[in-house]
Amino acid sequence: PICPNFGFECFDNFALAVLSCFWSITLDSWSFRLWWAQDTNGVTIGTLYFVSLVVIVSFNVLNLSVAVISFAYKEVRDRRREISKLREKVRRLRGHQHLPTAVKKE
């Protein structure tokens, strides 16, 4: 069988198989790979493989990505709140100082 897209989308060796799976996981034209797998291996095997790949892996990876990004934003938000609290504390301390900030020479 001839591999589609100049031989880059097939499962003939490990590297191309990983690349094809990655493209399917990102939902980039995964239905075309599904049709090619159905033509090559039969309707049942191709459908089971790609539907399980997309449902199990793709959606879980998508949720994991959203969770990582959300966690990163939460950390940044917490750091900004901490910095603003420290700035407010410094402002209050400077407001209560009775000593001049600069000493004039006489």
What mean pLDDT do residues 4-19 have?
78
pLDDT tens digits along 56-106: 888 888 889 899 999 999 999 999 999 999 999 988 888 766 555 555 565
Give the pLDDT confidence score for residue 100 in this predicted structure: 56
Q: What is the DSSP string of the chain?
A: -PPHHHHTSS-SSHHHHHHHHHHHHTTSSHHHHHHHHHHHH-HHHHHHHHHHIIIIIIHHHHHHHHHHHHHHHHHHHHHHHHHHHHHHHHHHHHHT--S-SSPPP-
**Is residue 106 one of the residues assigned to a domain?**
no
Give the pLDDT confidence score for residue 75 in this predicted structure: 97
CATH number at residue 32: 1.10.287
**Is residue 104 one of the residues assigned to a domain?**
no
Contact 51, 23 (CB under 8 A): no
**Is residue 41 one of the residues assigned to a domain?**
yes
**pTM for this predicted structure:** 0.47
Question: What is the domain count for the chain?
Answer: 1
Domain that holds residue 74: 7-95
Looking up tokens 């000593």, which residue turns up?
99
